[in-house]
């Protein structure tokens, strides 16, 4: 980070994969579809000064997945990508820095979503189609980075279980 920059917001992202398609979850605050994601939680002990606990990245990814799948899971979240110092202007117009870690979770073809979930399953090409909207620039950017990483390492994208 450069001088004067605040500490990046740590965000755990979950790529939910079902038969070659990726879950696009509607975020009403953003007014667009994106990947399931959540901030990594930090707790402070109000009784003991300086004592803090930070949630583990995979645990945060599990929370993001549970919100959309509406169920518990025993599957390990597979780490896919680390994106540090991503810059994004939020709804408040302030430039913020983000540190993303992306994890994959795989579900069966017949898997349902949480009741009331507004989401759809998209191919990689559909995610990256500039004519398809509303898809968040952050979600599109992360899908592109994941695809590029897979191309460079000879891996499959979307990943396979």
Q: What is the arithmetic mean of pLDDT over 82-91?
A: 78
At 76, is the pLDDT very low, low, confident or very high (cuts 50, 70, 90)? confident
Cβ-contact 70, 118 below 8 angstroms: no
* 130 compared with 5, residue with greater pLDDT: 130
Tell me if 57 is assigned to some domain: yes
Q: Could you tell me the pTM of the whole model?
A: 0.88
Tell me if 4 is assigned to some domain: no
Encode pLDDT of 112-145 as tens digits: 999 999 999 999 999 999 999 999 999 999 999 9
Q: What integer pLDDT is reported at residue 155 of this predicted model?
A: 93
Tell me if 158 is assigned to some domain: no
Domains contained in the chain, number: 1
Range of the domain at 27: 9-153
Tell me if 16 is assigned to some domain: yes
Tell me if 1 is assigned to some domain: no
Residue 28's CATH number: 3.90.79.10
């Amino acid at each position: 980070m450069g001088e004067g920059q605040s500490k990046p917001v740590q965000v755990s992202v979950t790529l939910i994969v079902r038969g070659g398609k990726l879950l696009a979850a509607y975020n009403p605050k953003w007014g667009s579809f994106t990947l399931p994601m959540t901030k990594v939680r930090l707790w402070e002990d109000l009784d003991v000064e300086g004592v803090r606990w930070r949630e583990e990245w995979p645990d945060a990814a599990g929370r993001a997945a549970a919100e959309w799948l509406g169920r518990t899971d025993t599957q390990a979240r597979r780490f896919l990508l680390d994106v540090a110092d991503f810059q994004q202007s939020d709804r408040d117009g302030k430039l913020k820095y983000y540190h993303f870690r992306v994890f994959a979770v795989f579900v069966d073809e017949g898997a349902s979503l949480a009741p009331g979930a507004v989401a759809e399953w998209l191919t990689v090409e559909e995610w990256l189609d500039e004519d398809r909207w509303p898809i968040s620039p952050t979600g599109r950017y992360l899908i592109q980075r994941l695809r590029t990483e897979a191309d460079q390492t000879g891996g499959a994208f979307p990943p396979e279980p």
